[in-house]
Structure 1
Amino acid sequence: MIKLLSVAIVAALFLESHQQRPGPFVRPAAPVVKPGTPRPGPFVRPSAPAVKPEHPCDSLTHIECWTDWFDRDDPSGSGDWETYYNLYKENPGKICPKPHAIEAMTLSGLSVAAAGEVIFKNDAASGFVCRNVDQPKNKKCSDYRVRFSCHPPFCGGGVCWTNWFDRDNPSGTGDWEHLSDLRNENPGKICEYPLYIEVVTTDTMTPAVSTGENFHTFNPTQGFVCLRKDQKSGGCRDYKVRFGCPCKN
């Protein structure tokens, strides 16, 4: 009995050692090609389509769609209240439900910073409020107007603005912000045919048209130039410019 059991164990071990076990994966050999048979060329992955360099007027993040200006209140009472709620209610269809920016300016053309007054509210959700009680020496607020920036489809595409540029200081003959010079110094950042130009002072963001200075050049096809010799004060303020381009969605 013991002899038979030993033979069975040996036979089992012999069979197990000769069973096929899965080995490492081996790539099948390439088929044999007869001499003279044309060989296919190497596989070339199709190249990805060329990506056009980002242009300031191709990016939706640069689009600014502004409403008209609104002036619903005068500062003769407690102040100038240009609240979003009242403006939206009094001008149906003219202001988007959720504007993402607001701009305020005095009726004389001064920015909020240039006016130098204490402002109670100045945000897209609340609107703009200047209270007389907050002003020093019993001074009343200026009369302001406001506009709101909405998502582009609200007003048909809007204007695509470049970044601000300030290439010159007025220490020489004046402040020269020529379009040709700005293009040379900022390749690819200004569209070929600007539609608009905006010029403000570098310190208070006061619009150039509100400074009372005279300008030698002020248009979107040439740029901006303020000459010291043209000013009664003998000098120009320091300006920065940006250009409005057609938006490409």
Structure 2
Amino acid sequence: MIKLLSVAIVAGLFFESDQKIILPQLPIAKGWPCYYPTHIQCWTDWFDRDNPSGTGDWEVLFNLRNENPGKICPKPVDIEAQTLNGLTVAAAGDVIYKSDTTVGFICRNSDQPNKKSCNDYRVRFSCHPPFCGGGVCWTKWYDRDNPSGTGDWELLSNLRTENPGEICDHPLYIEAATTGSIPAMSTGETFSIYNPTQGFVCRKADQKSGKCLDYKVRFGCPCSN
């Protein structure tokens, strides 16, 4: 049984901006969905070029490209931002000025209530899989169960059966979040299973509250060039 916030969980959940995903060279099945962005997202590394000590946190795409030549595709299809400790923008509660694939991400201190400063954010961009050959390709999010019974059971075996051909044979990473997109690491709940080879399970019997939140999961697979 794994107690969140006291143990570093699964490979693939990295919360320091200078860490990079290094994948072993594994064979990719011919025709695997890395080639189909509607099923798989291929993400760049995380970038954290600015701190909110001045006017705010400016993770502008133009500057990121200049400082990281060749590491961001010409036309990103999505952007994701989170605080350095893994909170989504919604969970952090900041007022965001910009967050798109054209400008990048900007949080201005002047937009925050009560003279509060922005959190420190990092960003990454989603590209077509051939661009991120050395990165990780994430499946879509899956939410097959609700916590109305004994808990929330998002087992890999069941997800494969219900979604044939959508999850690679040997996932390297797993990410779990509530259906409201709060990272599982931030909920404080206890999980009995949380790994890329079995999936994810939150049991009501393990919680002090006697109930689990509703979770979704996705899996990280090696992405071919």
Q: Structure 2: state its 5+ residue gaps.
A: 1-30
**How many equivalent pairs are there?**
195
Cα offset, 1:192, TM superposition: 3.2
Greater relative contact order (Cα 8 A, min sep 6): structure 1 or 2? 2
Helix, strand or coil for the counterpart of 2:191? coil
Cα offset, 1:132, TM superposition: 1.4
CA 1:192–1:91 in 2, change beyond 3 Å: closer, same or farther? closer
Give the match for residue 181 of structure 1. Answer: 158
1:190 maps onto 2:174 in alignment:
no
Q: What RMSD in Å do the two structures reach over aligned CA positions?
A: 2.4
Q: Structure 1: state its 5+ residue gaps.
A: 1-53
Give the match for residue 184 of structure 2. Answer: 208
Give per-residue Cα distances to partners, 1:156-215, cap 9 Å, x unaligned: 164443332212222332211111222333344433333332211101x12212323221
Give per-residue Cα distances to partners, 1:59-82, cap 9 Å, x unaligned: 354342222111111112211111
Tell me which structure has the larger Cα radius of gyration: 1
Matches within 5 A, 1:129-208: 129-156=106-133, 158-203=135-180, 205-208=181-184
Give the match for residue 87 of structure 1. Answer: 64
Give per-residue Cα distances to partners, 1:13-34, cap 9 Å, x unaligned: xxxxxxxxxxxxxxxxxxxxxx
1:245 maps onto 2:221 in alignment:
yes
Q: Which is richer in helix?
A: 1
Give the match for residue 18 of structure 1. Answer: none
Q: Which is richer in strand?
A: 2
Q: Distance in 2 between matches of 1:108 and 1:234?
A: 27
Q: Sequence identity of aligned pairs in percent?
A: 72
CA 1:66–1:184 in 2, change beyond 3 Å: closer, same or farther? closer
Give the match for residue 236 of structure 1. Answer: 212
Helix, strand or coil for the counterpart of 2:161? helix
Matches within 5 A, 1:24-39: none
> TM-score by structure 1 length?
0.69
Matches within 5 A, 1:213-228: 213-228=189-204
